Amino acid sequence: MLWNFALALLQEDVSNPAPVAANSSALIEMVHNSGPVAFTVLVILLIASIFSWAIMLSKWSSFRRAQMQGQRFVRAFRKSTRLSEIASVAEQFKPSPLVPVFIEIHDEYQRQNGGRGLPRNPVALERAAQTASSEALTAMERRMTWLATIAAIAPFIGLFGTVMGIIDAFHGLGTAGAATLRAVAPGISEALITTAAGLVVAIPAVVGYNQLTARLREFASRMDDFGRELLNAIENAALLTPPAQPQQPEEPRRRSF
């Protein structure tokens, strides 16, 4: 049965050869001749592709600025001898996620003992650094879930168009009453083009999501390292500062009788 069907399709193709066209014109013609279901699927995939590329380009640009500003901020921090100097110019490096970590630790240190001496509660400084790192990382992860969603569902959207194209092909085969290529060609073309469109949308989104996630892990690691470096700098500066000499108590005056 299957052999007779394939032989009939082959004979139909040989007896009625189609003109050879360019790949681009054939693709445009298939899209133009698509049914309403396949056309809707293609429009949805096009919107998803544009949205995913917009997310990836904006994230790559923002991550690049954050990395450059972070390197500048670390160089300025290591050259400075006072935390107050860094605090006064920290806003200049604002795109860097290291700046919120510094500001949180510096503010907590100021609240504890006015920025002098050993911190009374080092654990509170560590918690402040962890909170700032978490908030900065959450801000950098914004819209990443949309990219993961597009990467996950785009093949299934294309598969829906594929299923509907196959259904259309069998419907055309049943209507024609004969196993001819002309009867099944529209449905098969819709199935193939929606499958390809789903893969074209999903593959870049998967690659971009994995690369951006790796960059986020790098930023998280750098924020943790910088927080520990800042805490060490505070403790070392407090240990090197000589303690204030206590004032000698005044001798009690002798009462004269």
Question: How many structural domains does the chain have?
Answer: 1
**pLDDT on residue 68:** 93
Concatenating the DSSP letter of every residue in 48-70 gives HHHHHHHHHHHHHHHHHHHHHHH
Q: Give 102 or 252, the one with higher predicted confidence.
A: 102
3-class DSSP state for residue 100? helix
Residue 21 in any domain: the answer is no
Least confident segment among 162-176, 214-228, 243-257 = 243-257
Mean residue pLDDT of the chain comes to 78
Maximum mean pLDDT: which of 16-30, 68-82, 174-188: 68-82
Could you tell me if residue 23 is inside a domain? no
- On whether residue 139 sits in a domain, the answer given is yes
The residue with tokens 């293609």 is 42
Contacts (Cβ under 8 Å, ≥6 apart) of 184:
9, 169, 170, 172, 173
Calpha distance 219→94 (Å, rounded): 15
Decide if 252 is inside a domain. Answer: no
Structural domain span for residue 74? 34-239
Task: Return d(Cα 89, Cα 55) in angstroms, integer.
Answer: 31
C-alpha distances in angstroms, 26 versus 29, 30, 66?
A: 5, 6, 45
pTM score above 0.75: no
| Both structure tokens of 213 | 């996630």
Measured between alpha carbons, how far is 38 from 35 in angstroms, rounded to an integer? 5
pLDDT more than 90, % of the chain: 34
> In percent, how much of the chain has pLDDT > 70?
72
Predicted confidence at residue 14, as pLDDT, reads 38
Task: Name residue, tokens 């592709």.
Answer: 49
Residue 88 belongs to some domain of the structure: yes
| Confidence bin at 240 (pLDDT 50/70/90) | low
Q: What is the mean pLDDT of residues 98-120?
A: 84
Query: What average pLDDT does range 5-19 have in this prediction?
Result: 42
- Is the residue at 154 inside a domain? yes
